[in-house]
Amino acid sequence: MYPLGFTAAQRFDYEQTLRSSHQAEVDVDVLDLDGHVLSSVSANVLDGQVLGDRHGFGQPNGPQRRLTLSLLDPSFDLKFDTPSLRNGSLYYDRLVRVHYNVRVPALGEWVSCPVFTGAPWKLQRAEAEVYIEADDASVLGMGEIWTPLHIKKGTPKVAAAKTILGHAGFTRFRFPDRRAKLAHSISIGRRGHAWAQASRLLASMDLQLYVDGRGVPTARHLPEHALWTFNPGQNGEIVDAVNRSSDRNDFYNVVTVIGRKPHGAKKRVSYTAYPKRSHPDSPWSLVRDNGEDPYFKELVVRNDHYRTNAECERVARRKLAEVIRTKEELTASILPWPHLEQGDMATFRTLAGGVVTDRVDTFTLPLAAGQSQPMTIGWFDRPAVHRRVRR
């Protein structure tokens, strides 16, 4: 959940407004790379949406938010491109920022929630109409570092991650305080990527790294408890039936996590997590009638920042809980909930009385001008995972 700086009472008033008919507006600004506003194009917006995907749209360490936007720009006021057909159309030193604003009568003011800040990578122009696609600001850290970087052993890991991302130009962070320190020095060559290196380092503390709606790198433990309950029917937030589809892509029933090799040791620290034999997707439950061997599908995670078997065990347990599933994807349309972030936990109720509490993996927030459209969210349901694991 994006922190809007509310007290509990103010947050209640804000969310009660979202659950009923209300005024909403979208602000869109074009920025330079230092965050200075070059132009405001809010009045030019025809249509658009912000998409979230905590799995990086299928790219390892990829961006987790994406923007599509259609604008009317007959006078080239956008400052994204030039009138000339020969001078090159897209300026790469631009950012686009979007705020979703809601009028909250109980607070007597408009509440502005940043939902996207990032870099455009595609622009199409047909005379006055412009179509833009952009990825969140994490892509600014995905280029080569070029100037080698060395961080000493004993540096706090959070400080090291900030140093790495600072090398890519980031200056603001939403990071928790952690005592964990580097067990060995880090050297990053010129072709290393800051975002991937920082993500890998923070993952060793079981922290999710992403960019929030302001474009600020954020690290957190994934929430384990539901932040909201969404209900169907009259006065409910769910405005359409919950849809379900299933597949077995990316299915695993064993997870092995491999860390560093301690000084003087012969082997790397590691841990392999298995589900209980009675689990419906365990290797032993998937033995075919004409065979005797269990069906193992292993996911291997390697990260030199894991220093102990206990760290590897913690990550292996969590990863197993995520991947041992039949990928039952559920989607629902709810009233726009702009402060929701990918990875938040929520509870969903159906008209038939069913209840699902799970992590929001994807969302689509509409930005259509002058219209109120529902927000689509998606998550993965899965069979219960037995927490007991064996090495």
Read off the pLDDT band of 384 (50, 70, 90).
very low
| CATH 3.55.50.10 intervals, the chain | 149-220
* Sequence ranges of the chain with CATH classification 2.30.300.10: 8-141+223-245+327-381
- The CATH code of domain 8-141+223-245+327-381 reads 2.30.300.10
Q: Which of 210, 126, 122 is nearest to 174 (CA)?
A: 210
Going by the DSSP 8-state scheme, the letter that residue 119 receives in this structure is E
How far is the CA of 269 from the CAs of 169, 260, 283, 286, in angstroms? 34, 6, 24, 29
pLDDT > 90? residue 40: no
The pTM is what? 0.79
Rg (CA), the chain: 23
pLDDT tier at 327, thresholds 50, 70, 90: low
Residue 328 has pLDDT above 80, yes or no: no
Please check whether residue 97 is in contact with residue 114, taking contact to mean a CB–CB distance below 8 angstroms: yes
CATH number attached to the domain at 149-220: 3.55.50.10
Dist. CA 177–CA 189, nearest whole Å: 27
Residues 248/326, Cβ–Cβ less than 8 Å: yes
Least confident stretch, 48-62, 73-87, 179-193, 332-346 = 73-87
Pick the range with the lowest mean pLDDT from 41-55, 88-102, 344-358. Answer: 88-102
**Tokens describing residue 14:** 């804000």
Decide if pLDDT at 385 tops 70: no
Kindly report, residue by residue over 76-89, the tens digit of the pLDDT.
776 666 555 444 45
What is the reported pLDDT for 325? 65
pLDDT of 214-243, one tens digit each?
999 999 998 989 999 999 888 889 988 777
Q: Please report the pLDDT score of residue 235 as a whole number.
A: 81
Mean pLDDT of the chain: 87
